[in-house]
Structure 1
């Protein structure tokens, strides 16, 4: 069993979020918020939607879990929230309605994950609770998740470090002539060996931004430059990492551009200090890129990360974003250029009271990694 997380801070924030949204309670159903609020890591919910799990969080701080018949042992190992089992005979939605009635919430203002729930499920809930007022709580729940607890940050740091070790291992095992499919296999196997629960996605980019997601049988040739980008998961928390790899000999203009980008990446992270806005940091990033003759490929520099690779309704590091950096926020920072080659960095950064701290880089990436060589 993975480590339990102390949730007093999370519970207090949830009560505050419910009050600020003028709700009587929220009903949580998503994999992400069940992990955050109840310590239940249930990745199968994304592909087996009929296995409904509900968490009722009331404005007074009381909570209740409704789980399928097969889950009681697992739930009781992971959480101290009172558990009620719904039977397949009664059905999930009728059981939820009964639980809310018993708590006097059948005519209340109920927050739901409207952007997560299927339209059919929302209709079912409305039918079994005709007098309740159903209100989207998506924004309130996302804001609740943006500030991570120390335990959450520790797991994100763990999966980030595992991902970097996997890349170092796969790069050292790589060789000229292997296909990108073979190299992708090395990355996946290395990730599992490093202790991750899942490889959520993997993209290799040999030549252009369009060739990102589907491995092919194209062999790796001398002089090629490509990026590795993948999302990994441990106990429900994700990393999103990107590194650039070259096959010797490396053209001089590519090495020069890469070193300039490395400098911009480092300076950008240093600017992510508590109390300043995302917009002001992003403006300085773009100015730094221009001063170095570089042009960012995408419209955003990074995103919040945690219980998803792009956390829910992601907070983007982009132009005009007014959000203020606060201690406990975690971001993926990923500048990318496409000329003279596709060159990219991506690291995970936590905002602390003393400034930003990189969670994902224990090796030297200031110079291009060379396929078949060990990264120091």
Structure 2
């Protein structure tokens, strides 16, 4: 690896920007992370299920930082019909995100039966909208499904949707397993996958006991991380960057009942009822830099070869491949410079009533500057 790279501005094809005070705190960190294009997830409360909701949400984001290109999505829900899909296409909405019911943050309104949406998928195929899949099955101990094999259990669903709608563009989001990488490779050119920055670092031991490394889907085995890294450095377009950056207030991460979608300030008292830790890792402020750090550490471990990391590869996985898949042009001409250096990840990002701890807080990472 070189000590510095000059690259086109990054494009992050999976972000959670929340709303209200949390959104006001995290949206300004998008460009800090070297990114000028973001693919925005719709799992607000309530979820973004109509075109007007998506456009209103986009307007709120633009008011916080108009220099970012926000690509908007709808939440797959029984109220989504073929006519909604056609309306969405005309309005410039890019995709529809599917959450299996109950698997992650704000997924209570998620999908229970994919076949019931086949008429919607047909319309999406016709209109060119992308289907974004959170690729996990809900945990079911009677059938042996847990967080460790939830992604593997979902892969037949991916394959069945692709077989039924071979021209439908599908993205398997935030892959975490070797099996998922192989499944995406086995599908046609209309299927791609996003890789997060944090899954290029983490294995199961890193989140078991560390709430700030806990996300859904959870990180798996070292052998799975190896396959993710190999998929990234060998990608010619099938695999590209999507951080799945998911901010939660520190209280929610520590299981004190905080909610990333509200402005409530949680004060610890003896009467407070503890809850489960929120699933999500916040990577937005160092989005592109984290990837370079992960690749650097992978070379040091011997997981990948130094010569695999080329200028062309970085330009592709950090923006070019995703833009090509989605048909999104970056006419800004903006560039970033990444330098191997001594930048240390900040302790937290603070806003009105919220505090978010970034991934690898206090550890060293690459520096990202705008030209």
- State the TM bucket, normalised to the shorter chain: under 0.3
Structure 1 or 2, whichever has the larger Rg, is 1
Q: Quick check: which one's strand share is greater?
A: 1
